[in-house]
């Protein structure tokens, strides 16, 4: 199989605080993990691509100092939303990909609400 | 750049067949993916086409024509649980681009 988990599934935080979201590949080694954001009725928007052991590559318009990504091992990547604001409220989804494979397997997503 | 077009909504009857079309214009094309996404959930992988032709997988089939920049997803014997958004996705090894998705409603 190819199972990807995300934690937490839902989080509510106050404006100005930081939130960490974990993405784990449970039964395979993920050399690459992707982080997406999806607003209601919109498509998935790629935020950044992370390869194990190296710095993440951020898409244009995504602030790397605000969205900190760490891919410290072949099974774990984390996204930290720093100094969250209400406009950061969204559905954050990670995906993971095996080495030399093209298909991505998605985690269940994290719904972030910033009050 | 990447540009993907697919219909925003479709309705089909339970037990019928539905075809969801997708056209794409991408640079560095390395394959065409289809994902299913139920409301409030993450996408699940359905199919991947890298060569021209039809790939069949149970009730779902996916077709690709690289020269035309065209793909379709064919769903047979529709079931109510197939009501979902279907995302056409094109890209390469390091990056993929998702379409906005086609919201399919299956009616009795």
**In this predicted model, what pLDDT tens digit does every residue of A60-94 receive, in sequence order?**
999 999 999 998 889 999 999 999 999 999 999 99
pLDDT at A72: 82
pLDDT at B28: 67
pLDDT at A40: 84
Q: Do A106 and B30 touch (CB under 8 A)?
A: no
How close B36 comes to chain A (CA, Å)? 11
> Which residues are bridge partners to B73 per DSSP?
B20, B62
Mean pLDDT of chain A: 92
The Cβ of residue B48 has, within 10 Å, a number of other Cβ atoms equal to 18
Task: List Cα–Cα distances, A91 to A27, A29, A32, B82, in angstroms.
Answer: 24, 24, 20, 22
CB of B34 less than 8 A from some CB of A: no
Sequential pLDDT tens for chain B (108 residues)? 568 899 999 999 999 999 999 999 876 677 899 999 998 888 888 998 989 999 998 999 999 999 999 999 999 999 999 999 999 998 766 677 888 899 999 999
Q: Do A44 and B44 touch (CB under 8 A)?
A: no
């Amino acid at each position: 199989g190819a199972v990807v988990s995300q934690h937490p599934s839902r989080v509510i935080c106050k404006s100005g605080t930081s939130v960490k979201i974990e993405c784990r590949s449970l039964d395979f080694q993920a050399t690459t993990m992707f982080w997406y954001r999806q607003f209601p009725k919109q498509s998935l928007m790629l935020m950044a691509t992370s390869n194990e052991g190296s710095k993440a590559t951020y898409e244009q318009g995504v602030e790397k100092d605000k969205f900190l990504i760490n891919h410290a091992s072949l099974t774990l990547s984390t996204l930290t939303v720093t100094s969250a604001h209400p406009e950061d409220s969204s559905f954050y989804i990670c995906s993971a990909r095996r080495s030399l494979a093209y298909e991505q397997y998605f985690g269940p997503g994290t719904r972030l609400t910033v009050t | 750049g990447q540009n993907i077009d697919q219909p925003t909504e479709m309705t089909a009857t339970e037990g019928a067949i539905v075809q969801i079309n997708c056209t794409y214009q991408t640079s560095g094309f390395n394959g065409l993916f289809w994902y299913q996404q139920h409301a409030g959930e993450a996408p699940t992988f359905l199919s991947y086409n890298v060569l021209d032709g039809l790939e069949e997988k149970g009730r779902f089939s996916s077709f690709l024509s690289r020269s035309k920049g065209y793909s379709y997803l064919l769903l047979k014997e529709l079931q109510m649980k197939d009501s979902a958004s279907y995302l056409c996705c094109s890209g390469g090894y390091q990056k993929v681009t998702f379409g906005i998705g086609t919201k399919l409603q299956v009616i009795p």
